[in-house]
Structure 1
Amino acid sequence: MRVFTVFPLLVLPVLIYNVIAWSGSAFTSVDAVRERMDKDFLSVTMASDTTWDITPGHALIAFSLLMLFFELLKSTGTGRGAIINHAFSMVLFIVCLVEFLMFPAFATSVFFLVMMMTLLDVMAGFIVTIISARRDFGVSDGGFD
C-alpha cells in the first residue's frame, strides 16, 4: 500500500497518452494523434434516444479527472510518502511540459488538459503541505505562537 501513497496516479493518463502518441512512429504528427483521439470508440444511447459518442480523448480526460480526484485526496497527507509523492508529481509535470513544448504529437488540447491536471496536483500538494506545516509549527500572522 506504500507504493499507492508515493506513486503519482496521474502518471497513468500520461502513459496512456504517450502510448497513443508514439504508437504510429517515432515522431508522430499532431494530425495523426488528433485523428486517433477524435475517433469514436463507444456510443451510449441516452434516455432521449440521442447517441452519446465517446472518443479516446474524452475518455482520457475523464480518467485523468478521476486520478486527479484521488491525487487531491492523497495531497492531504503530510508524511514522508506524501512529500515524495509531491516531488514525483513535480517531475511528472516537468516531463509533461517538455513533451508539450518539444514534440508535435503532444501539442493537443487533450494533452494540455492532462498537463494542467498534473500542475494542479503539484500546486495542491505543496499548498496543503505548507498550510499543515504552518499549523504544526504554530506560525501565525504575527510570528511564532
Structure 2
Amino acid sequence: MAAIPLMLIPFILYNLAMVGAFGGGGTASLETIVTSVNMMSGATWTMSLGDLFIVIALIILFLEIFKATRRSSVALLDHLFSMALFVVFLVEFLLVQGAATQIFFILMLISLVDVIAGFTVSIKSASRDVAIGL
C-alpha cells in the first residue's frame, strides 16, 4: 500500500471530471467555480475545479517528496510505480482528446517532477549511507 503513488489521486479526479462525476462532464466541467472570495481590493478571487486539482497535486507532490526520503525496499517500488504513472499521464495526454488541456498538462508535469525528485532524493540519501571501511 505504501508503494502506491499518491499522484494517482489527481489523475483519477481529472478522469472522473471528464466523465461527468462533478457536473456536466468534459473539459467544461474543469471551469466549474468551486469557491469565490471577495477580496479587500474589491476584486473577486475564484477557484475552478481544474485549479483545485492543481492545488491538490502540489500538496501531494510535497507528500511524495517526503515519502522519497524513507529508506526501504518499498521506496524503489514507489519510484517505479510513479514512473509508470507518468507514462500513463503522457500516453493519455497524447491520445485522449479530453486530456489535451493545460490543466492535465500541468498535472503531468507535476507527475514528472515527482519522478525526478523521488529518484534524486533517493540517490542523494543513498550516497550518504555509503561508508568506506579501512
TM-score by length of 1: 0.81
2:55 aligned with 1:62: yes
How far the C-alpha of 1:9 sits from its partner, in A, is 1.1
Which letter does structure 1 place at the counterpart of 2:13? Answer: I
Residue 138 of structure 1: how far off its partner (Å): 4.2
Question: What is the alpha-carbon distance in structure 1 between the residues aligned to residue 38 and residue 13 of structure 2?
Answer: 26
Can you list the C-alpha shifts for 1:33-54, whole angstroms capped at 9, x where unaligned?
1x21123232112233322111
Aligned to 2:6: 9
Q: Tell me how far 1:60 sits from its aligned partner.
A: 0.8
State the alpha-carbon separation in 1 of the partners of residues 125 and 47 from structure 2.
40
**Amino acid of the residue matched to residue 132 of structure 1?**
S
C-alpha distance in structure 1 between counterparts of 2:126 and 2:78, whole Å:
16
Q: Which moved further from structure 2: 129-138 or 50-59? A: 129-138
Unpaired segments of 5 or more residues in structure 1? none
**Partner of residue 102, structure 2:** 109
Q: Deviations over 1:88-140 (max 9, x none)?
A: 1111101101000111100100000001111111111111222222332348x
In 1, Cα distance between the equivalents of 2:56 and 2:20?
20
Give deviations 1:58-105, integer Å, cap 9, x for gaps: 111111111111111111112112111111111110110100011110
Structure 2: runs of 5+ lacking an equivalent? none
Q: How does 1:42-53 map to 2 (within 5 A)?
A: 42-53=35-46
How far apart, CA to CA, are the structure 2 residues paired with 1:100 and 1:13? 14
SS of the residue corresponding to residue 41 of structure 1 reads: strand
Matched, 1:78 2:71: yes
RMSD between superposed Cα atoms in Å: 2.1
